[in-house]
Structure 1
Amino acid sequence: MAADIGLVGLGTMGAALALNIAEKGFEIAVYNRTTSVTTAFVAGAGDLAARITPCDSLEALVAALTPPRAIILMVPAGAPVDEMIDRLTPLLDTDDLVIDCGNANFHDTVRRAAAAAERGAPYLGVGVSGGEEGARHGPAIMGGGPKAAWDRVAPVFDAIAARFGTTPCAGWMGPDGAGHFVKTVHNGIEYADMQMIAEVYGVLRDGLGLTPLQVADVFDRWNGGPLKSYLIEITGIVARALDPKTGKPMLDVIKDSAGQKGTGRWTAIEALMLGAPDTAIEAAVAARNLSARVAERVEGARIFGLSPEPVPVDGMVDKLEAALLAGKIACYAQGFGLLAAASKEFGWSLPLGGIARVWRAGCIIRSAMLDDMAAAMETGEGANLMFAPQFAEKLKRSEGGLRAVVAAAALARIPTPALSAALAYFDTMHTARGTANMLQAQRDFFGAHGFERVDMAGAHHGPWGSHEQ
């Protein structure tokens, strides 16, 4: 029987996605560069193997598919995707569809979509979030490319996506690179959310002296309240875990040097290019970069001899909960602001409310607040998410906790870069008259750039005259 869809690349994510597709009743043909990987995959698929056609070449994969064909690429981002497209293109008809479901840079997706369009062929760039577990049992899926091409494969993606109630967490975001851009911003928010959680863990550990088990109890309790989310849930789980080799808390034996695959950095870069403030995400990316400088940090500890100090205990756990809530709202406000800026710049008409709905289940940043965020975006209240009535009220109640935590942590020498960035963003966005007038005066002084006045229209210069610098 001819397969409904093909998949290239049986790494961790590709294998999980292929099993998910087969489990939902679709016939799937699979190919991996190393044939033994394909053989082992099918052998381990159990009852699902009956719906899986193993292929030992791309020619065999193409022959196994029902025209017009659809082929998912699950190969590493970058040059391997271009290489696979180059190998596939001579084998495909012009109406055959290539779908990149990897973590591609959206600029690459725009380029590949344009090249496909020149050949008269459709191309989709699809963001898939949820890790291995999500890929296997239900990810959040963000599609980009021609709407007609998305509609061709939407039944497959709707079937394999996570569910929020009965609604599949899959959707078309817009043309060319829109889907991969939305996935990139998702990952940027993920960076910031994780970093703020790590900073709160640092205050609990170094400022309050809590053990990992006590930290787990705190996060378990928070997961029953307004912070309920996947990341809060797993933080409690990892804090409770014990190392099977030593019996020590798992957190105590893990090196404090964080890795990254680049999507957070891409988010920060695009925010700077688009002039969209994304300071919490930028701080989270910088924090990961600093974490890798272990030797320098050890040397800094030796030179300065400054250790963390206790923070005031009274009400601090509740203040930390409020700080995370306020920080999360500010972070999401920045993320959606970046999406809005990109939508305008690239002519995508991104469905901001729909994006929040796709993120409600399956993805890493899923949380109880996303349903309200979707509603705020769809009613137009979320031009800046912090200003939407329900989130403004949450911020009014929680910003004091964020302020207290950042202040206490600074005095105790406990770094909180992402929480501090979120607080600075909030304070800037409720300051009607800031200090950029000084910047404009300085720019006019040394570069005669001119400035606007508050009391009359037009461009003006200051009375400082000509100064050689």
Structure 2
Amino acid sequence: MQATYDFGLIGLGVMGRNFILNVADNGFKAFGYDLNTDQVAALKAEGNPDQVDATSDIVTFTQSLSLPRKIMLLVPAGKIVDQVIESLLPHLDKDDIIIDGGNSFFTDTDRREEYLKEKGIHFFGSGVSGGAKGARKGPSIMPGGNKEAYQHVKPIFEAVSTKYKGEPCVAYLGPKSAGNYVKMVHNGIEYSMMQLTSEIYDLLKKSVGLSNSELHEVYSTWNSGRLQSFLVEITAEIFTQKDTLTGGDLVDLILDKAKQKGTGKWTSQNAMDLGIPVPTIDMAVSMREISALKEERVLADQLYSRPTPLPISKAEMIAQAEQALYFSFIISYSQGLHQLADASREYGYELDMAVIAKIWRAGCIIRAGLLADIADAFTAKPDLANLLLSPAFVGKVQDTLPAVRSLVAYAAQSGIPVPGLASALSYFDAYTSSNLPLNLIQAQRDHFGSHTYERIDREGIFHTEWGDQ
């Protein structure tokens, strides 16, 4: 069998099928593999037979690929990745390349890279964002790992990725599991932005009774301004979707229980391990968990009274909501990028925040007009510790604060939950406070546990026998 195919892909579900068709559309011959014969048939039916083919036979698959083999896995994270790798190994040659394009936990990527290195096989993780449509038309791709191995895949990834003003939204990010880590934090930011968008929707609906048609107009208008983003864009579209079963608005018929696949939780957990505060991401994860308690929430709603929303004009509410969403989007990016910068130092990723912001400008779920400004901020100061410290963002944030404070207070008085927005404001107030009440916590710790404390007036570590005067 002649090995003439440039690229192999394992996992021909919707995401995998769309990605491999994208590869084929961009002039590379691609060969797919899936144990599910229906998935194989679906790819063959849709693809150009001169550019793409597929099989359920692992030998046929591996022998069809030119050397070094470039094989991408788009399969669910976890044990199945290891199972696929083991099934491939007997059929690979030294210097072949395996790419994990799924949302694998970053430590799993490090483990697999070390394991395969001993066998002479290159392995790296590469985040792919944009959903099924993005995979077909152009995703944002976040590869990391062996830099030399990436060079073999680079022409393909640059061709299939989406473009922002002509620049491909893909870049080599760093060694080891840098690609999977960046994708994980991307998803944490995504959780946060989705939660914030939904809270603003809830406020607009419960406070001034905006109809779905009005909500569509509001979000559409916002998407034409500084809030331009994929999530605001699709939110506007959601409000116009009719239900094929009842003819009503579909959004009103969807159960308020949000599921999760784990990447947001991983972001939150790892931030705690690193000691980096990401409370708005944390709250977004917690709200999905609270949403799962539907039966308990219904019961609790019957036990407690709730205030009637305070009177406010539509114009005022819409104006404040726009400023609050803009502010909280900035905070979401600030927290996620802060975590990336610290992880880069901790894990030796050598991440460039400006490059990350650039490849997020198009193709991915968190793409937004704001990212061009964020890229500029980190280009101007590559070692910027936090986006809130960028002179370019001080004015953007400062101008929104009166509206944000007003809206959070309004929501609290009206009994409308906005935990994401409230956490974003509290994070900002804490991060920008030169004095916090943690001196009292240190005193408490020393009082009950002799944990010692530091002083503001002299160097050293101190302990007091509390109560002794």
Aligned to 2:413: 411
CA contact (8 A) 1:308 1:414 kept: no
Aligned to 1:203: 203
Residue 420 of structure 1: how far off its partner (Å): 0.7
Aligned to 2:345: 344
Q: CA deviation digits over 1:42-94, x for unaligned, max 9? A: 0122xx23211222311111100111111111111101100000111111112
Letter in 2 for 1:331: S
Aligned to 1:362: 363
CA distance in 1, matches of 2:339, 2:152: 29
Q: After the TM superposition, which residues 53-452 of structure 1 pair with which residues of structure 2 at under 5 Å, given as runs?
A: 53-306=53-306, 309-313=309-313, 315-380=316-381, 382-452=384-454
Report the more deviating stretch, 115-124 or 349-358: 115-124
CA contact (8 A) 1:311 1:412 kept: no
Instruction: Name the SS for the 1:6 alignment partner.
Output: strand
Letter in 2 for 1:398: T
Residue 309 of structure 1: how far off its partner (Å): 2.1
Residue 375 of structure 1: how far off its partner (Å): 1.2
CA distance in 2, matches of 1:49, 1:260: 37
Instruction: Name the SS for the 1:400 alignment partner.
Output: helix
The count of corresponding residues between Structure 1 and Structure 2 is 465
CA distance in 1, matches of 2:451, 2:365: 45
Aligned to 2:457: 455
CA distance in 2, matches of 1:434, 1:190: 29
Residue 99 of structure 1: how far off its partner (Å): 0.6
Instruction: Name the SS for the 2:158 alignment partner.
Output: helix
CA distance in 1, matches of 2:438, 2:140: 41
Overall identity of the aligned pairs, in %: 41
CA contact (8 A) 1:377 1:383 kept: no
Residue 311 of structure 1: how far off its partner (Å): 4.8
CA distance in 2, matches of 1:283, 1:243: 31
Q: CA deviation digits over 1:340-376, x for unaligned, max 9? A: 1100110111111100000000000000010110111
Aligned to 1:39: 41
Instruction: Name the SS for the 1:175 alignment partner.
Output: coil
Gaps of 5+ in 2: none
Residue 465 of structure 1: how far off its partner (Å): 5.4
CA distance in 1, matches of 2:238, 2:124: 36
Q: CA deviation digits over 1:357-404, x for unaligned, max 9? A: 000000000000101101111221732101211211100101111111
Query: Equivalent of 1:5, from 4, 7, 21?
Result: 7
CA contact (8 A) 1:222 1:232 kept: yes
CA contact (8 A) 1:3 1:53 kept: no
CA contact (8 A) 1:126 1:143 kept: yes
Q: CA deviation digits over 1:238-270, x for unaligned, max 9? A: 012222222222211111111111111111011
Residue 39 of structure 1: how far off its partner (Å): 1.9
Report the more deviating stretch, 50-59 or 153-162: 50-59
CA distance in 1, matches of 2:61, 2:166: 33
Instruction: Name the SS for the 1:173 alignment partner.
Output: coil
Aligned to 1:19: 21
CA distance in 2, matches of 1:363, 1:226: 18
Letter in 1 for 2:105: N
Q: CA deviation digits over 1:415-452, x for unaligned, max 9? A: 00110110001000111111110010001101111111
Residue 298 of structure 1: how far off its partner (Å): 0.3
CA contact (8 A) 2:310 2:413 kept: no
RMSD across aligned C-alpha pairs, in angstroms?
Answer: 1.4
CA distance in 2, matches of 1:343, 1:308: 48
CA distance in 2, matches of 1:17, 1:310: 49
Letter in 2 for 1:434: L
CA distance in 1, matches of 2:111, 2:29: 31
CA contact (8 A) 1:7 1:18 kept: yes
TM-score, normalised relative to structure 1 = 0.97
CA distance in 1, matches of 2:401, 2:107: 37
Instruction: Name the SS for the 1:125 alignment partner.
Output: strand
Residue 146 of structure 1: how far off its partner (Å): 0.5
Instruction: Name the SS for the 1:174 alignment partner.
Output: coil
Instruction: Name the SS for the 2:364 alignment partner.
Output: coil
Residue 96 of structure 1: how far off its partner (Å): 0.5
Letter in 1 for 2:386: N
Q: CA deviation digits over 1:165-205, x for unaligned, max 9? A: 11000011111211000000000000000100100000001
Letter in 1 for 2:217: D
Instruction: Name the SS for the 1:172 alignment partner.
Output: coil
CA distance in 1, matches of 2:404, 2:316: 13
Report the more deviating stretch, 361-370 or 376-385: 376-385
Report the more deviating stretch, 102-111 or 131-140: 102-111
CA distance in 1, matches of 2:280, 2:142: 23
Q: CA deviation digits over 1:106-138, x for unaligned, max 9? A: 111111011112223211100000000000000
Gaps of 5+ in 1: none
CA contact (8 A) 2:125 2:145 kept: yes
Instruction: Name the SS for the 1:170 alignment partner.
Output: coil
Residue 316 of structure 1: how far off its partner (Å): 1.7
Relative to 1, partners in 2 of residues 1:386 and 1:311: Cα closer, same or farther, differing over 3 Å? farther
Instruction: Name the SS for the 2:435 alignment partner.
Output: coil
Residue 100 of structure 1: how far off its partner (Å): 0.6
CA distance in 1, matches of 2:428, 2:464: 31
